[in-house]
Amino acid sequence: MISLYLAERTWAHGVPAGWKLLALALISLAITPFDSVALMGGLLAAVLVLYVSLGRAALRQVALLRPLLPLLVILLGLHWWTGSLTAGIAMVLRLLAMILLANAVTMTTRMDDMMDAVEPILRPLALFGLSPRAVALMVAMMLRFVPLLFALWEALGESYRARTGKRGGWRLLAPFCIQTLRLSHHTAEALTARGGAPRGKRR
Amino acid sequence: MRHVELPVAVDAAAAGAPAIRLDKVTLNRGGRPVLSDVTLALAERRIGLIGANGSGKSSLARLLNGLLMPDEGRVEVHGLDTREHAAELPRKVGFIFQNPDHQIIFPTVAEEIGFSLEQAGRPRRAAREEAKAVLARHGRAHWAERPVHALSEGEKQLLCIIAVLVMQPAVLVLDEPFSSLDLTTRRRLEAMIASLPQQVILVAHELDAFSGYDRVVWLHEGRVRMDGAPEAVVAAYRRFAEAAAGAAEGGDTP
């Protein structure tokens, strides 16, 4: 199943979250002024080498890009149409490299450590009455529910195929939304049963 | 059907007032009555709740931890009126849902348990350390960093129970917790539940799950149909359910 966190420990799990986030930010800043295909291709290759070093499970995560492909094709098409195909290719390579790099950070960093790294930046939000714990909860729930929603989509697709022999495709969207709302209702109930979302600024 | 009054075996903790008291409770959901005039005093340590689908079992369970409030009457749990003390109830009453995927909020096991500890007032660092210690106590130290979606159904349900127990509730309410478990896994969970010091209210369709229980309440169409020793109530319910299935044969309801 696709998940946003790698269960098996890799060397990148040991790198402190703050360093990984800093490296991500610096690399994305550093490549901003450039748009040569060779450089972006090299960057993507380097990122793929990073994935190889993280092992087989990490490489499998490259499949996460699949939903993005139509978008990338459209972007490339637009550039081709306006006569700047090379710039388009460079941009697609840059996007791919940065998305994969960001995903590499997500899948090798525990949510807790991520929040510890990010919390100092969030702290001023407490002035506006927003608890950093509430933000942490939102991020955690996102990481938890992405794999669950993938599984829900697959289950809907399976039951559609079981009865029609065809792929559900867009037809599953409406039932998927309804099921998602039901799931959110259940989760709200479970959260309430354990005392509700944190509100205070206790740390 | 006769209503069996039970010779209540009150334990020391509940020697005073009954631990849980429902007083003339009526509950409507979606304009339909779900519970009608239910009065119960639940003081025993192990209580089962049985009945057909839609008989009001889950709603009754949800009244106990304040997820639902009665439309009429009152519910008191360990001295707390659920209407007046809604905020304190989650620490008194641990609740286990039918589907663990609806209950687990966090991506990794240690975080799921740590959240309960933080809800109980521990600072985050302490909560993290304690979560690991708790897992070690249950012989599951290696689970700490596991993503929850990688656990089996039984493991997820066990995690749900551990995460609720660390809040040290006085009562544990389980709403059909065995639905998707195989028999071995179920027996293990039953044994673990049996060993808990907490008062336990178990809603289940598995009629053999109540051995060792002090009392079973049978709900039928929102009312208490029978209430007493597990053997007697379960046997009566089984006869009723089989007879109803026989009566429906050839009829219009499956």
In the predicted structure, residue A26 carries a pLDDT above the cut 60: yes
Whether ipTM exceeds 0.95 = no
In terms of domains, do A83 and A161 share one?
no
Any A CB within 8 A of B149 CB: yes
Chain-wide mean pLDDT for chain B? 88
Q: List all residues 6 or more positions away from A172 whose beta carbon is below 8 Å from its beta carbon.
A: A153, A156, A157, A160
Closest to A37 in 3D by CA, of A96, A93, A99, A100: A93
Distance of CA A72 to the CA centre of its chain: 16
Domain ranges within chain B, ordered by starting residue: 46-61+89-107+147-248
pLDDT in tens, B185-222: 999 999 999 999 999 999 999 999 999 999 999 999 99
Which band of pLDDT confidence, cut at 50, 70 and 90, is reported for residue B24?
very high
Tally of CB atoms within 10 A around A185: 11
pLDDT, position B17: 56
CA atoms B116, B122, B125, B126: torsion sign = negative
pLDDT, position A136: 78
Please spell the DSSP secondary structure of B29-85, one letter per residue: ETTEEEEEEEEEEE-SSEEEEE--TTSSHHHHHHHHTTSS--SEEEEEETTEETTT-
Q: Is B169 exposed, middle or buried (0-12, 13-18, 19+ CB in 10 A)?
A: buried
Q: Alpha-carbon Rg of chain B, whole angstroms? A: 19
Closest to B232 in 3D by CA, of B209, B245, B215: B215
Q: Which amino acid is at B173?
A: V
φ and ψ at A108, to 5 degrees? -115, 10
Helix axes A17-30, A85-107, angle to 10 degrees: 170
End-to-end CA distance of chain B: 24
Residue A150 lies in a domain: yes
Q: Which of A181, A192, A194 to mutate to test the interface with B (most CBs of B within 10 A)?
A: A194
Tally of domains within chain A: 2
Q: Domain B46-61+89-107+147-248 - what CATH class?
A: alpha beta
In terms of domains, do A104 and A130 share one?
no
Element (H, E) at A175: helix A173-193
Which band of pLDDT confidence, cut at 50, 70 and 90, is reported for residue A195?
confident
In the predicted structure, residue B229 carries a pLDDT above the cut 50: yes
pLDDT, position B94: 93
pLDDT, position B250: 53
pLDDT in tens, B60-90: 999 998 889 999 999 999 989 999 998 888 8
Q: Between chains, do B91 and A195 touch, taking CB under 8 Å as contact?
A: yes
Which band of pLDDT confidence, cut at 50, 70 and 90, is reported for residue B16?
low
Size of interface A-B (CB pairs under 8 A): 86
Number of helices followed by number of strands (H, E) in chain A: 8, 0
Dihedral (Cα; A83, A86, A89, A93), 10-degree rounding: -150
In terms of domains, do A100 and A22 share one?
yes
Give B168's contacts in chain A (Cβ within 8 Å). none
Residue A95 lies in a domain: yes
pLDDT, position A63: 81
Domain-terminating residue out of A109, A130, A152: A109
Q: What is the nearest CA distance from B62 to chain A, expressed in angstroms?
A: 9
Residue A203 lies in a domain: no
pLDDT, position A9: 82
In terms of domains, do A127 and A103 share one?
no
pLDDT, position A77: 92
pLDDT in tens, B101-142: 888 988 889 989 999 998 888 888 899 899 999 999 999 999
Distance CA A58, CA A55 (A): 6
H helical segments located in chain B: 57-64, 89-92, 100-103, 109-119, 124-137, 153-165, 183-194, 230-248
In terms of domains, do A158 and A77 share one?
no
Q: What is the mean pLDDT of residues B25-47?
A: 94
Distance CA B94, CA B104 (A): 14
Tokens read off for A188: 């709200």
Domain-terminating residue out of A76, A109, A142: A109
Q: Between chains, do B107 and A151 touch, taking CB under 8 Å as contact?
A: no
In which residue are the tokens 């990073």 written?
A50
Q: Which amino acid is at B59?
A: S
Distance CA B20, CA B156 (A): 28
CB B164 within 8 A of CB A194: yes
CB B58 within 8 A of CB A193: no
Q: What angle (nearest 5°) sits at the alpha carbon of residue B127, between those of residues B121 and B128?
A: 160
Give B150's contacts in chain A (Cβ within 8 Å). 3, 7
Any A CB within 8 A of B148 CB: yes
In the predicted structure, residue B5 carries a pLDDT above the cut 50: no
Q: Which of B108, B122, B130, B175 to mutate to test the interface with A (most CBs of A within 10 A)?
A: B108
- Determine which of A59-68, A78-87, A98-107, B231-240 has the lowest per-residue pLDDT on average: A59-68
Q: Between chains, do B118 and A133 touch, taking CB under 8 Å as contact?
A: yes
Distance CA B179, CA B160 (A): 14
Distance CA A190, CA A74 (A): 41
In terms of domains, do A87 and A176 share one?
no
Per-position b or e across A5-35, b if 16+ CB within 10 A of its CB: bbeeebebbeeebeebbeebeebeeeeeeeb
Domain-terminating residue out of A109, A128, A145: A109
Q: Between chains, do A194 and B90 touch, taking CB under 8 Å as contact?
A: yes
CB B149 within 8 A of CB A148: yes
Instruction: Domain of residue A53: give its range.
Output: 11-109
Closest to B200 in 3D by CA, of B155, B226, B164, B235: B164
